[in-house]
Amino acid sequence: GENVEQHPSTLSVQEGDSAVIKCTYSDSASNYFPWYKQELGKGPQLIIDIRSNVGEKKDQRIAVTLNKTAKHFSLHITETQPEDSAVYFCAASKRENYGQNFVFGPGTRLSVLP
Partner 1 sequence: KAGVTQTPRYLIKTRGQQVTLSCSPISGHRSVSWYQQTPGQGLQFLFEYFSETQRNKGNFPGRFSGRQFSNSRSEMNVSTLELGDSALYLCASSLTRQGGSPLHFGNGTRLTVT
Task: Confirm or reject binding of residue 73 to partner 1 (CB under 8 A).
Answer: no
Name the burial class of residue 64, with classes exposed (0-12), middle (13-18) and buried (19+) by CB atoms within 10 angstroms of its CB: buried
Task: Confirm or reject binding of residue 95 to partner 1 (CB under 8 A).
Answer: yes
Whether residue 114 has a cis bond before it, omega within 30° of 0? no
Task: Confirm or reject binding of residue 107 to partner 1 (CB under 8 A).
Answer: yes
Measured between alpha carbons, how far is 101 from 48 in angstroms, rounded to an integer?
18
Tell the smallest beta-carbon distance from residue 75 to partner 1 (Å). Answer: 15
Binders of partner 1: how many residues, by CB under 8 A? 26
Task: Confirm or reject binding of residue 49 to partner 1 (CB under 8 A).
Answer: yes
CB-CB contact of 19 with 110 (8 Å):
yes
Task: Confirm or reject binding of residue 93 to partner 1 (CB under 8 A).
Answer: yes
Task: Confirm or reject binding of residue 41 to partner 1 (CB under 8 A).
Answer: yes
Q: By CB under 8 A, which span of 16-24, 33-41, 62-70, 75-83 interacts with partner 1?
A: 33-41
Q: 3-state class of 112 per DSSP? A: strand
Measured between alpha carbons, how far is 19 from 36 in angstroms, rounded to an integer?
15
Tell me which residues touch partner 1 (CB under 8 A).
31-32, 34, 36, 41-46, 49, 51, 89, 93-96, 98-102, 104-107
